[in-house]
Structure 1
Amino acid sequence: MDVTQWTGRHACWLQNAFEDTQDEFAARLGVSVRSVASWHSNPDMVPQMETRRILNTAYEKAGDAVRRRFIHYARSHAQQLQAQALRVAIAVVRRGGDVLLVCRQDGDDIAWQFPAGIVKPGGSAPKVAVRETLDETGVHCMVREHLGERLHPRTRAMCDYFICDYVHGEAVNGDSSENVAVAWAPIAELERYIPTDRIYPPILNALEATV
C-alpha cells in the first residue's frame, strides 16, 4: 500500500502500527512530541512537506508486520466510512403472536428478513421503516420503540432497528423485483425462517415479551 497523502490520521495509524508511545514515535521520526500530539488532536491536518517525507521514509523502512498493521487500520477506517454512508432502517412489525417478514432473493440465495430500507442523508429512520414496510408489504404500521443500532456483521451497514405495531392492511408482495414472498411468521417459530444467531438480540427480547 502506498500512502499518497499523509494526514494526522495516517500518522497516528503508523504510530499504532509501530506500537510506539507518542514519545517513542517522536524519537523514531526525529520530530517533537507536540507534533505527534497535534496529529492525535487534529487527524485531518496535513503535515508539512518535510514531515511527510519523514513519514514516507519511516513507512518504507518498516517491516512487514508494521505495514500489515497499518493497512489494517486503513481498511477498518474505510469500512467505518462506508457504514456511516449507508444507514438502513429495519421494521420489526408485530401482529399478535406473528411478525412480518419478507423473502429476498440474492442470486441463488433466498433469505427471510424484516422489511428494511436505506435512509438517505438527513432522512428520518423511523419514517423510512414505516414507509418501506408499506411499499414492500402493503402493511401499515406504527413505530413503537427504537431497539438500538449496530454495524451489521455481514452487510457492514449501520442498521437502526424499530419495533412496530400493526395498524391495518393485508400482507402482499409489493416489490416483486426484490422480494420472492411476504409472510406473517409465528414468533415462536421464527428460527425456522431466520437463524437466531443472525438476529439482533434486542429484537429477540422484544418479540419474546409478546409471545
Structure 2
Amino acid sequence: MKLYIYEHCPFCARARMIFGLKNIPVEEHVLLSDDSGTPQSMIGEKMVPILQKDDGSYMPESLDIVDYIDNNYGGKPILVGSQSSEISALIKQLQHYDYKLECPRYIKLGLAEFATQHAIDDFVANKTKKIGSFDACLEQTDELVMSVSNILDKLAPLIVSAHACNGNLSLDDILLFPVLRNLTCVKNLTFPPKIKAYLESMSRQSKVNLFFDQAV
C-alpha cells in the first residue's frame, strides 16, 4: 500500500498513525504542496491523505483510511477505547488558535512538501487568504501561545496515560495527537509534563515524528 501525504498535515498524521500503531508497512509519498495534478488524477480533487490500496484503487479521507486499516489489517481492531467529550471540546478550542501559530512556521521546518519556492509561495498565498499575513500572525505569537497554554493546562488532567489519552487506544488518540504534534513546531510553547510525555509516547508508538528539533 502507498500513502500520499504532506508531512505537516494533521489529517495525514491520523492516517500515518494507524499504520504505525499496528506495525503495518506502507510506502509514504510526500507530495509537493502545489502539486494538484497528482491527487486530482487519483481522486478528482486536491486533497491528502490518499491511500492507494493493494488492488490499486484510491481512498481519500483520513478517518475512512483509519477505519479501513484498523478493521482489515494487523489482526483485531485496536481503537476500542472510550472517547471523551471533554477532550473533543478542547481539541476544538485549540483549533481556534493553532492555524495562526503553525502555518507561518511550517515553511521554515525543511519539510518535503515545501522543497521548491513555488510550493512555498503557493502555500503562503492560499493560507494568507484564511489567516492574514504570516508576518502578522508571527507578531501575535505571545498572545496565541498564552491562549493555547491555557487550553493545554485544562487538557493535561484529562490525559489518563502516556500510552493512550483515555487509558486505551481510541479514536480520541487519532484526533488529539496530530493537533498536539503540530504545536511542537512552536518554539515558544511549553507543554505540561503529562502532555509532553503523551506526545513522546504516542510518537514512538505511531512512528510519526514530532517537530521539537525543528521548532521555530
**Same fold flag (TM > 0.5):** no
Bigger relative CO (Cα 8 Å, ≥ 6 apart): 2
Of structures 1 and 2, the larger Rg is shown by 1
The TM-score, its normalising length taken from structure 1, stands at: 0.24
More strand by share: 1
Please report the TM-score for the alignment, with normalisation by the length of structure 2: 0.24
